[in-house]
Amino acid sequence: MNFISVRKVIHISYFAKIMSEKHIEYWEKCLDIIKDNVNMQSYKTWFSPITPVKQEGKVLTIQVPSLFFYEWLEEHYVNLIRRTIKKVIGQGARLEYNIIVENSSDSGSQRTINMPGSQINTNEGMEVSMPLNISNSIKNPFIIPGLKKVKVDPQLNVNFIFDKYIEGECNRLARSAGLAVASKPGGTAFNPLFIYGGVGLGKTHLAQAIGNEIRNSFKNKVVLYVSAEQFTNQYVESVRNNIVNDFLNFYQLIDVLIVDDVQFLANKEKTQDIFFHIFNHLHQTEKQLILTSDTPPKDMKGLEERLLSRFKWGLSADIQKPDFETRVAILENKMHADGIELPREVVEYVAYHVNTSVRELEGALISMLAQASFNKKEININLAKEILKNFIKKTSKELTIEHIQRLVGDHLSITVEDIKSKTRKREIVQARQISMFFSKKLTNSSLCVIGKHFGGRDHSTVIHACQTVNDLKDTDVEYNNKLNEIQKIININLG
């Protein structure tokens, strides 16, 4: 073999090595995008175990650990995977699965089967799917000459709908206002609709549910969901490419604009200025604005006063942590949607211990399902306790109303049945009022729910009981000492 032929072989070998690793590079880019669009628990459960196998043309093959795993991805993450593969590989991209299955003839061996992924639909969205990011490598998406209406991908998750958004005391105002806006966008007093609350409580779900409902009911309305961070990045790119007017004109053509996490506009003066003009134009032309934030307008820092005042023009509705009953309903709804049945004691155990956010609640359910599938275990209370160790460490332990009734009753030598009864004996009334007081103080339950646990009493009775306890502990030393003793007992049980 001469020198030239050796060089040729080396060159071909090097090129083949690069091509053989292309699938790994593509999948790593996909994971970077996916990681920004799902919570970390879901990412670790459903995407970390995936292994890229090969890439031929525009077909990327990945390996997943089970048929259940494949079905779950296709059912719950198909739209995200579609968009991601298309963005990374390009138009016409396709995903195929390599699935590990057990051999029925030999329980100790495994084999793989190949399954196609859902086809990439290049016409998703409103008539024509169109990217929102501005880049020198693509045609400017903000202006389409000769068209009065912009054809645009709404950037909505089709799984975020009202039917999957469970109503409870924690979100009733926000959900009701959302339904009103969806039935008459731009035509209600709720413009803008400002939804605020902590992380993982469902702000994005509700905002996108409104957008999806409007798209279903008003086919000609242009709906767009965008995060404040995306909006800022688009504006910066428009300044860099000297197309700010195109950017402004595009957003002024939107009929329903949903901006998520507007708190991230803080301290970005130029971005706030352009958003101010867009907001004014849309509001004046009776277009609908829906905004979400982690705090109410009055507590937002780093935003111009003129912008904050406009955030207060419509309705500000908060979303709070769901109470126990709502958490159970959320889990049951999720189970019904996924065709899953779990023992009641498991559902209540999860709802009792995971109480910080809806996102973490669903993450706990997914973790149990995945663990049961991979390890071929039955889902029971023991498995739930094992899986939820990490979740429980990060959440505060919660008392139930029944537990408080029992602790108070035991300390005061009153039965729970007597506490719930209609009797007006002084010592029983006192035990009932103290139980109501601690139920209001130490649980997420609403006044109505607390009243129902005390023989079907109404919320005004609970309010009166709490006021009575507060008054007596400030004026009666013996009564206050009794309260402190009960508080210590409860703290021990919390520990």
Distance CA 286, CA 194 (A): 16
For residues 346-366, average pLDDT: 77
Residue 378 within any structural domain of the chain: yes
Distance CA 47, CA 35 (A): 9
My answer on whether 198 and 310 are in the same domain is: yes
My answer on whether 307 and 266 are in the same domain is: yes
Name which of 12-26, 237-251, 342-356 the model is least confident about.
Answer: 12-26
Residue 462 within any structural domain of the chain: yes
The residue out of 319, 337, 364 marking a domain boundary is 319
My answer on whether 309 and 412 are in the same domain is: no
Distance CA 454, CA 465 (A): 12
Residue 329 within any structural domain of the chain: yes
For residue 320, give both structure tokens.
Answer: 């709070």
My answer on whether 180 and 214 are in the same domain is: yes
CATH classification at residue 349? 1.10.8.60
pLDDT tens digits, one per residue of 260-299: 999 999 999 999 999 999 999 999 889 999 999 999 998 8
Residue 105 within any structural domain of the chain: yes
Task: Choose between 294 and 334: higher pLDDT.
Answer: 294
Whether 449 has a pLDDT exceeding 60, the answer reads yes
The pTM (predicted TM-score) of the whole model is: 0.52
CATH classification at residue 90? 3.30.300.180
My answer on whether 279 and 373 are in the same domain is: no
**Confidence category of residue 84, pLDDT binned at 50, 70, 90:** confident
Q: What is the pLDDT of residue 204?
A: 92
For residues 36-51, average pLDDT: 81
Whether 135 has a pLDDT exceeding 90, the answer reads no
Distance CA 460, CA 457 (A): 8
Q: What is the pLDDT of residue 349?
A: 79
Cα distances from 123 to residues 2, 126, 129, 131, 215, in angstroms, run 54, 8, 6, 12, 16
My answer on whether 210 and 275 are in the same domain is: yes
My answer on whether 330 and 308 are in the same domain is: no
Residue 163 within any structural domain of the chain: no
Whether 106 has a pLDDT exceeding 50, the answer reads no
For residues 412-438, average pLDDT: 91
Distance CA 134, CA 398 (A): 48
Whether 398 has a pLDDT exceeding 50, the answer reads yes
Task: Choose between 106 and 127: higher pLDDT.
Answer: 106
E runs forming strands in 221-348: 223-227, 256-260, 288-293, 315-319
For residue 37, give both structure tokens.
Answer: 């669009």
For residues 54-74, average pLDDT: 81
For residues 8-20, average pLDDT: 45
**Confidence category of residue 390, pLDDT binned at 50, 70, 90:** low
Q: What is the pLDDT of residue 382?
A: 77
CATH classification at residue 186? 3.40.50.300
pLDDT tens digits, one per residue of 212-255: 999 999 988 889 999 999 899 889 888 888 888 888 888 888 99
My answer on whether 22 and 92 are in the same domain is: yes
Residue 5 within any structural domain of the chain: no
Whether 387 has a pLDDT exceeding 90, the answer reads no
Residue 151 within any structural domain of the chain: no
Number of compact structural domains in the chain: 4
My answer on whether 305 and 244 are in the same domain is: yes
For residues 351-365, average pLDDT: 76
CATH classification at residue 422? 1.10.1750.10
Q: Are 197 and 320 in contact (CB under 8 A)?
A: yes
- Residue owning tokens 């275990």: 377
My answer on whether 307 and 343 are in the same domain is: no
The residue out of 319, 334, 367 marking a domain boundary is 319
My answer on whether 264 and 380 are in the same domain is: no
Reduced to 3 states (helix: H, G, I; strand: E, B; else coil), residue 248 is helix
The residue out of 292, 319, 346 marking a domain boundary is 319
Q: How far apart are the first and last CA of the chain?
A: 78
Residue 206 within any structural domain of the chain: yes
Reduced to 3 states (helix: H, G, I; strand: E, B; else coil), residue 147 is coil
The residues pairing with 52 across neighbouring beta strands, listed in sequence order, are: 62
Q: What is the pLDDT of residue 420?
A: 92
Distance CA 40, CA 117 (A): 23
Q: Which residues span the domain enclosing 454? A: 401-494
My answer on whether 312 and 176 are in the same domain is: yes
Rounded to the nearest 5 percent, the helix, strand and coil shares of the chain are: 55, 10, 35
**Confidence category of residue 54, pLDDT binned at 50, 70, 90:** confident
